[in-house]
Structure 1
Amino acid sequence: MVERYNPNISSNDLTATPDSKSGELLAWIRSLQQALTVEVDHGFTDIQGRKNKFSSFVSDYLLKCPSLDIPEYELCKLKELAFEFKIYSSMSTDRRRRIIVQTRQSLHDLHKYKEGAETTKLLNLKIKKSQDLNFNKKSSSSDILSLESQISAIKGVGPKQAEKLSGIGLFFIRDLINYFPRDYVDYTSLKTIDKTQSGQNVTIVAKIRRCSSFKSPKNPNLSILELFIKDKTGGMKITRFFAGRRSSSIAYVKSQQSLYPVGATIAVSGLVKESRYGKSINDPLIEIIDTPNSYLKSRTIGQIFPVYSLTDGITADKFRDLIQSILYLTSDIKDSIPIDILNRLDLPSKKDAFFQIHNPQNSKTLAKARRRIVFEEFLLLQLSLLLRRELHKKCNSPQLSIEQNSNGLVEKFLSILPFSLTSAQKRVLKEIELDIVKSEPMSRLLQGDVGSGKTVIAISALLTAVQSGWQGAFMAPTEVLARQHYQTLNKWIPQLELNVDLLTGSTPKSRRKQILADLSNGATKILVGTHALFEDPVVFERLGLVVVDEQHRFGVKQRNKLLNKGLQPHLLTMTATPIPRTLALTLHGDLDVSQLDELPPGRTPISTQLISPKDKQYAYDLIRGEINKGHQIYVVLPLIEESEKLELSAAVDVYHQLSTEIFSEFTVELLHGKMKSHEKQEVIKNFLNKKSDILVSTTVIEVGVDVPNASVMLIENSDRFGLAQLHQLRGRVGRGASKSYCLLSHQNKNKLSRQRLEVLVNSNDGFEISEIDLRFRGPGQVLGTKQSGLPDFALASLAEDTDVLELARNEARNLLDSDPQLKNNSMLRMLIKAKWDKLKIGNKLN
């Protein structure tokens, strides 16, 4: 039995003293893992030990890593985590959970690194890197070439090649240096033959035992050279293929065979394959090693070499040669980040990072180079967002008043609700009230799962604007959702004697004219609408607050058009799509964030189950039973982006099967995106009024339909949805007191696909689900739209570089604290100005 971590012992008591350095590292990892487990078991309470609290122990212990043979980038991660644990006690529970997850991942990475480290001391392979080849010597044309030179000025680049390179956006040498590899092939893993595994890129040093060549019996222009190599641990077949007319010559093939005499020592780099005949490498890189002390001539054997995204007519080898020929110019790159920050964070200079990203010396220097470039990308973004936020705060906005008495509109509204606010709703409402009484405009993002009560918060905020003498706008991405909000408002607002209107694309002209008139003269206090609110004829008399629902579905420019209709109104954006912290920092780094992390009482947890084709009858029996109990059912189909016709056809087919064959005794209706607005409303109205039992729908019901009587959601082809989207769909049931079910039907036999869906089965935490979805599918897919306003990064990954993003955010804050206008950091200021539009931030503040 493994001894568990005891919270009553101090960090001094836990000094590991095993016999070997490897054992010392494993003991250190084990101690930390046990401490983390105890903290998780105690609910992230920062448990008190005999001498220290958990956070203090971990912060100190992370800095005591036995650092022998540990990569520098891993040590950097540990230092950053140690800093995070210093402020652990002031963190929210969610953030504490995230830090512990990150720490566990780092410990896992360290363990894997230690396990996978192969000793290479016995393998004698001398590699001469570019740095050893007088690489930093400037060429004879160095007085001509510079970073701003055109690519056509490079020796050997003709007009045709320059034209092809321009097709992928490469015009100047600076463009070439900024064109980072999309991947790397790593041949630095020196292995003995017995240690190689199928699927690995490896380098082997061995002796040739046999060599033969022959022509392909099927292709006269293909010849094959086979080597059998052997080291002290085993043997392996090496095969090279020679294609073309020249290879049909026996003399040529024999000349190739003569290059590899039996008994010679060779270095081989390639991808290991395994079959019933044993291990082999096809078409590897091969070089004869003349003497034990001679350097390899190859620039790729035993090394990491870059792989670039190219276009027709440009070969990989030629492009690599082109990059290598101008890499000396990286010495002209100036650093934009202060040297003290680079030293403190153990980051290389920009010129070294750019050199190593194209010509990595080893995996450590590559990781550090990438981290340096990613850090700068994130730093520029975070500085831009924080500067935008400060600029925004300087604008004048309506200063709303909060009436804390029973006659106030907000108090009246809350008093007529048939339920009490949750503590989370009260907290968020207080945060909003503190914002809107200021003279600076509010910019707040409200996140919360489906059913957490965001609409009540939005209405309360709008009523605050109205009681202060201003108007409010409530904007939704779809007509279905806009109408739902309008109906919700109409349920309560008439009792408050306020005029509320709905403006959408399908509003009749005569009605539109009246709405616009009432809006401009101030008779309409709250206007609910879709993109129609952006149109120029829409003029508010005094717009004080804008509420934007599912805001990531609108472009920044669209939101700005509405905000320009008033004196910098307050902005409250809402989303039921749980946004991972990395995305929130990237998209909304200039917003304050409120989180509704509590569902109203009385909700029964939803039972989520995976349904394979053989389980379909179980699903149908469950649905029949629920309908007989008086409940209603959703059947949801995925959107088919490639073909709207195919999507409609699939929906009609399922509807026909359910209504005529499987559930002919029940009323089944169909809802899809191609229906006219009034047709959609009719179907939704029938479902709300219990006139239909089953609603077959595409994901138009993802937001906007609230039917407490619905108890089952069957999602067909659920593997085609994102996890965050499935979680939102699931939130459409379980809104009443009855037990509800979400059935995830799938036909995909892929193991990874099933594992992804099992996340939904095991978790109801929207933020945890969205974090996992981010890793699986990437940020654009998590947000469900390509027009999500995400900046384009050259190297940074929001899924993989979360620690660097947090680091950049902290450093951006520190920089602006000491230099608010970046007057002492002119290069950073210049880069931000150049990238302001590229980062899709725009000139407006909201």
Structure 2
Amino acid sequence: MVEQYKDRKKQNSLELRDQQINALNNWVRLLQKALTVEAENGFKNIHGRAEHFNSFLSREIKEFKSPLLSNEIDKKLTLFAKSFDDYPTSDLPIKRRLIIDARQLLYRLSKEYQIKDIPSPPKLRMSDSQSTANDIRQHLRIDSPLGEVKGVGTKMCECFAALNLFVIKDLLFHYPRDYVDYSSLKRIFSLVPGETTTIIATIRRSNSYTSPRNQNLSILELHLEDMTGRIKISKFFIGRRFSKRSFLKKQESLYPKGTIVAVSGLVKGNSYGKSFNDPLIEVLEHKQALLKSQTIGRILPIYQLTDGLKADRLRQIVHSVIPLALDLEDPLPVNTRESLSLLDKGEAIKQIHRPRNQEYLKKAKRRLVFDEFLFLQLGLLKRRLELGKCKAPSLFINKEREGFTEQFLKLLPFALTNSQQQVLTQIESDIAMSKPMSRLVQGDVGCGKTVVAIAALLRAVESGWQGAFMAPTEVLAQQHYLTLCKWLPQLHVTVELLTGSTAAKERKRIFADLSNGNLKIIVGTHALIEESVSFRRLGLVVVDEQHRFGVNQRNLLLNKGLHPHLLTMTATPIPRTLALSIHGDLDVSQINELPPGRTPIETQLMPSSERYQAYEAIKEQLDIGSQAYVVLPLVDESEKLELRSAIDVYHELSSEILSEYKVGLLHGRMHSSEKKGIINKFVNKEIEVLVSTTVVEVGVDVPEATMMVIDHADRFGLAQLHQLRGRVGRGTKDSKCILIDTAKSLASKNRLEVLVNSHDGFEISEIDLRLRGPGQVLGTRQSGLPDFALANLVNDETILESAREEAEKILKSDPDLIQNKLLKIMLDDYWNRLVTKTQLN
């Protein structure tokens, strides 16, 4: 132990000295650079960013301290500092001499204190086990059942079946979910705690013992060295049977003194120095010996597992069938691969499972991500081409007379913004054509998408057709219906609401009016896609918050007409990457202006300890005649989550804190008639404070509501918080939103600060996308996102753009993929698998 302690002390001392030398050399380089710049500028005492040259030199010399500097050097530096204080008033020859002397002294210091270059580590000779490759390819095919692979029995086949892996091809397309990189080969001195790496070193000694604190734990320690330093390795054995002295002695004998070993693992660091705990170890006959291990010194794949399937065993099986990847046909021709700098498909599969190095892994990922995006874009663009061949109703607009749309726009108490007018013009141009429009309108909360949708619906009506307006919730459908009822009766255009709670008698009347054409516009929820709903002449379908509907639901409504035009809308702004992925078959428009008079909502972040201040702020708003929301993530108390619930907070506010005010409760478990009643009371100011869950996220429009408190804001995504915040500030009064952060972490605080500093929905959505991923941003299983194996919509934007360009090029020359038969087969297979997993918008 004494010798071990001395070794560690010596190692720590050497490392400390090297740190001091590094600091000294960095300081010398900084001063030398300043002296050079001053000399090049004619000794004019140039002014830097914050101070003059002489002030900078004098301060740096006075402040720098190093135990490496002798008393004599210290005295010289002190004299230089004083000389530089007098530098501005000195003559030119004195300035020149001073700079030359200073540079000479610094040069001597840099030469005296240098870290010796660390010799590069020896190379590892890897075994690729190619001898069995030909044998495997003779006996197995890419579509052979996994049960035919050597070492795979019935039980393992059941494990593979649990992962939907049945044939060898399935296994090859079961990509690693992560990697451990042992490919970085280093000398002991260069090891950095927290990194995974590999070293080749010599054993100085070994010893073993059973832990005095835990008789079930035995430890083998190996002390290694190379020409740059020393390090300790610990191997752990858990179990009483391993505590026998005979076992431990046998372990020691496996690693005799002077043996060369290759070691891969995670470098640990503590007060005693650096070490490896339970690394991978292989004894080498000599430094140039062939390495037998298939893991040491390599990039190790980490796979998704299931019960009964161990990581090492799965790696062995995948490794054994990798040669069959070369039998995979490549759907892309050689010239395409070369122009896009893509690996061959088989080589990419091989490198994704067994990468030669990080560069090859990067190339393999790029090729396979490209394929995923290519199949997605081909499918979306083909759908778009097929839709373009269909004949749609041409909603002709007679510009010579004032139609419903012009009358509606005149009724509005405001003019359309330039952005609204531009999008409406795009829509009118689309619906005048005889091919179906498919357009997505994106816009921030409160930008006026609904007004544009109403104008488009009125164009359909004045052309002699009917319109349907579908929303995902009854609350939102009710809100759209009330908005339409404000204007359409004045134009003598009929409008009705159809939801799951519509009475049977009403439904019967609505169905009859729709089918005979008397009803021009219908607003509703999923009830619109019921079989009993029949239109006489459906010309335009508007779908709000469209990402909440699956493609089948959307198509069921479209199929009630003869290829009607489709206008979809979302208030969750989607970055271009995401829009291309899930809306690649749609034209995308953006309303990027807010109507005049809308003031930005002041947003404030509070810790949970200051919750009472938020309630005081609510009281201030209520006392001047405004209304407020209090939003919570849960309806009721949860045993698993320590969160305040809407019901608990409602009782607390109504009976104690805000007992003198009218407080209401709204949540998703309520019957639709109850929800409707509560919202109406809030609209009519019979309720002053509405305690709610995210039911109010969309569709509730109360201009007098100027205050919102979102409790447990850390439990919501940024895009969702932005949506919620948009429920206030809908009038002309100043509005405020308070976010209560209960997470008590810096990461949570920094995330929520994004909302405090930004009101740009696209910026917020982009940040949210990077933090949480697209599935959570869209917040629904029916978001339309495919289940990518490797592709990442955040990081792979350039590959997506490239794949879309290639898809357009392919379909332009071969729209039915007749000349690309293999690509067509793989595309059909991709979309068949996709449809079974998700509903793609």
**Out of 159, 164, 189, which is 1:164 matched to?**
159
Return the alpha-carbon distance in structure 2 between the equivalents of residues 233 and 641 of structure 1: 62
| TM-score after normalising by structure 2 | 0.83
The equivalent residue for 1:366 is 361
**Do the aligned residues in 2 keep the contact of 1:473 with 1:545 (CA within 8 Å)?**
yes
The equivalent residue for 1:436 is 431
**Out of 463, 468, 477, which is 1:468 matched to?**
463
CA pair 642-498 structure 1, distance change in 2 beyond 3 A: same
How do residues 294-443 of structure 1 correspond to structure 2 at under 5 angstroms? Answer: 294-405=289-400, 407-443=402-438
Say whether residues 1:255 and 2:250 are aligned partners: yes
CA pair 626-406 structure 1, distance change in 2 beyond 3 A: farther
**Do the aligned residues in 2 keep the contact of 1:836 with 1:842 (CA within 8 Å)?**
no
Which deviates the most, 402-411 or 737-746?
402-411
Report Cα offsets for 1:122-175 as digits up to 9, x if no partner: 100313152xx4358411x53331001111111222222222222221211111
Return the alpha-carbon distance in structure 2 between the equivalents of residues 395 and 790 of structure 1: 26
Q: In structure 2, give the amino acid aligned to 1:767.
A: F
Return the alpha-carbon distance in structure 1 between the equivalents of residues 744 and 320 of structure 2: 48
Return the alpha-carbon distance in structure 2 between the equivalents of residues 463 and 398 of structure 1: 15
**Out of 573, 579, 583, which is 1:578 matched to?**
573
**Do the aligned residues in 1 keep the contact of 2:125 with 2:288 (CA within 8 Å)?**
no
Say whether residues 1:208 and 2:203 are aligned partners: yes
**Do the aligned residues in 1 keep the contact of 2:782 with 2:839 (CA within 8 Å)?**
no
Return the alpha-carbon distance in structure 1 between the equivalents of residues 172 and 212 of structure 2: 46
The equivalent residue for 1:725 is 720
Say whether residues 1:699 and 2:697 are aligned partners: no
**Out of 634, 649, 655, which is 1:660 matched to?**
655
Return the alpha-carbon distance in structure 1 between the equivalents of residues 189 and 622 of structure 2: 63
The equivalent residue for 1:612 is 607
Deviation of 1:218 (Å): 4.9
Deviation of 1:755 (Å): 1.7
Return the alpha-carbon distance in structure 2 between the equivalents of residues 843 and 195 of structure 1: 48
**Do the aligned residues in 2 keep the contact of 1:192 with 1:233 (CA within 8 Å)?**
yes
Alignment partner of 2:170: what SS? helix
Report Cα offsets for 1:557-578 as digits up to 9, x if no partner: 1111111111010000011011
How do residues 705-744 of structure 1 correspond to structure 2 at under 5 angstroms? Answer: 705-744=700-739
Say whether residues 1:126 and 2:121 are aligned partners: no
The equivalent residue for 1:447 is 442
**Do the aligned residues in 1 keep the contact of 2:635 with 2:645 (CA within 8 Å)?**
no
**Do the aligned residues in 1 keep the contact of 2:606 with 2:738 (CA within 8 Å)?**
yes
**Out of 743, 761, 767, which is 1:766 matched to?**
761
The equivalent residue for 2:61 is none
The equivalent residue for 2:174 is 179
Say whether residues 1:293 and 2:288 are aligned partners: yes
**Do the aligned residues in 1 keep the contact of 2:127 with 2:292 (CA within 8 Å)?**
no
Report Cα offsets for 1:650-680 as digits up to 9, x if no partner: 1111112122222222221111111222221
Deviation of 1:780 (Å): 1.2
CA pair 572-136 structure 1, distance change in 2 beyond 3 A: farther
Report Cα offsets for 1:21-63 as digits up to 9, x if no partner: xxxxxxxxxxxxxxxxxxxxxxxxxxxxxxxxxxxxxxxxxxx
Deviation of 1:814 (Å): 1.7
Alignment partner of 2:433: what SS? coil
Say whether residues 1:750 and 2:745 are aligned partners: yes
| TM-score after normalising by structure 1 | 0.83
Return the alpha-carbon distance in structure 1 between the equivalents of residues 508 and 131 of structure 2: 73
Deviation of 1:492 (Å): 0.2
Alignment partner of 2:281: what SS? strand
Which deviates the most, 230-239 or 620-629?
230-239
**Do the aligned residues in 1 keep the contact of 2:785 with 2:838 (CA within 8 Å)?**
no
How do residues 765-804 of structure 1 correspond to structure 2 at under 5 angstroms? Answer: 765-804=760-799
Say whether residues 1:502 and 2:497 are aligned partners: yes
Alignment partner of 2:480: what SS? helix
Return the alpha-carbon distance in structure 2 between the equivalents of residues 355 and 483 of structure 1: 56
Say whether residues 1:544 and 2:539 are aligned partners: yes
CA pair 615-642 structure 1, distance change in 2 beyond 3 A: closer
Return the alpha-carbon distance in structure 1 between the equivalents of residues 252 and 468 of structure 2: 79
Deviation of 1:385 (Å): 0.4
Return the alpha-carbon distance in structure 2 between the equivalents of residues 327 and 844 of structure 1: 33
The equivalent residue for 1:149 is 144
Which deviates the most, 604-613 or 389-398?
604-613
Which runs of 5 or more structure 2 residues have no equivalent in the other structure? 1-116
Q: In structure 1, give the amino acid aligned to 2:134.
A: K
Q: In structure 1, give the amino acid aligned to 2:775.
A: G
CA pair 538-647 structure 1, distance change in 2 beyond 3 A: farther
**Do the aligned residues in 2 keep the contact of 1:391 with 1:845 (CA within 8 Å)?**
no
Return the alpha-carbon distance in structure 2 between the equivalents of residues 322 and 649 of structure 1: 50
Q: In structure 1, give the amino acid aligned to 2:583.
A: H
Q: Greater CA radius of gyration, 1 or 2? A: 2
Alignment partner of 1:322: what SS? helix
Deviation of 1:221 (Å): 4.8
**Do the aligned residues in 2 keep the contact of 1:447 with 1:593 (CA within 8 Å)?**
yes
Return the alpha-carbon distance in structure 1 between the equivalents of residues 506 and 244 of structure 2: 85
Alignment partner of 2:574: what SS? coil
How do residues 14-25 of structure 1 correspond to structure 2 at under 5 angstroms? Answer: none
How do residues 796-835 of structure 1 correspond to structure 2 at under 5 angstroms? Answer: 796-835=791-830
**Out of 610, 628, 650, which is 1:633 matched to?**
628
**Do the aligned residues in 2 keep the contact of 1:549 with 1:575 (CA within 8 Å)?**
yes
Say whether residues 1:523 and 2:521 are aligned partners: no
Which deviates the most, 320-329 or 683-692?
683-692
**Out of 122, 134, 137, which is 1:138 matched to?**
134
Return the alpha-carbon distance in structure 1 between the equivalents of residues 836 and 580 of structure 2: 13
Return the alpha-carbon distance in structure 2 between the equivalents of residues 469 and 844 of structure 1: 33
Q: In structure 1, give the amino acid aligned to 2:120.
A: L
Return the alpha-carbon distance in structure 2 between the equivalents of residues 740 and 286 of structure 1: 64
Which deviates the most, 453-462 or 741-750?
741-750
**Out of 598, 618, 625, which is 1:623 matched to?**
618
Deviation of 1:262 (Å): 2.7
Q: In structure 1, give the amino acid aligned to 2:326.
A: S
Return the alpha-carbon distance in structure 2 between the equivalents of residues 505 and 767 of structure 1: 34
Alignment partner of 2:500: what SS? coil
Q: In structure 1, give the amino acid aligned to 2:769.
A: L
**Do the aligned residues in 2 keep the contact of 1:205 with 1:267 (CA within 8 Å)?**
yes
Report Cα offsets for 1:219-268 as digits up to 9, x if no partner: 54542101222344443321101234652332221111122223333222
Identity in percent: 58
Say whether residues 1:283 and 2:278 are aligned partners: yes
Q: In structure 2, give the amino acid aligned to 1:155.
A: K
CA pair 266-741 structure 1, distance change in 2 beyond 3 A: same
Alignment partner of 1:797: what SS? coil
Report Cα offsets for 1:318-337 as digits up to 9, x if no partner: 11111111111111111011
Aligned pairs, how many? Answer: 726
**Do the aligned residues in 1 keep the contact of 2:629 with 2:689 (CA within 8 Å)?**
yes
Q: In structure 2, give the amino acid aligned to 1:537.
A: S
CA pair 641-346 structure 1, distance change in 2 beyond 3 A: farther
**Do the aligned residues in 2 keep the contact of 1:129 with 1:361 (CA within 8 Å)?**
no
Return the alpha-carbon distance in structure 2 between the equivalents of residues 813 and 629 of structure 1: 59
**Do the aligned residues in 2 keep the contact of 1:552 with 1:788 (CA within 8 Å)?**
yes
Alignment partner of 2:665: what SS? strand
**Do the aligned residues in 2 keep the contact of 1:556 with 1:842 (CA within 8 Å)?**
no
Report Cα offsets for 1:49-108 as digits up to 9, x if no partner: xxxxxxxxxxxxxxxxxxxxxxxxxxxxxxxxxxxxxxxxxxxxxxxxxxxxxxxxxxxx
**Do the aligned residues in 1 keep the contact of 2:351 with 2:360 (CA within 8 Å)?**
yes
Return the alpha-carbon distance in structure 2 between the equivalents of residues 320 and 177 of structure 1: 11
Report Cα offsets for 1:768-798 as digits up to 9, x if no partner: 1111111111111100112212112121122
How do residues 34-183 of structure 1 correspond to structure 2 at under 5 angstroms? Answer: 122-130=120-128, 133-134=129-130, 137-139=133-135, 142-183=137-178
CA pair 640-653 structure 1, distance change in 2 beyond 3 A: closer
Return the alpha-carbon distance in structure 2 between the equivalents of residues 738 and 632 of structure 1: 11
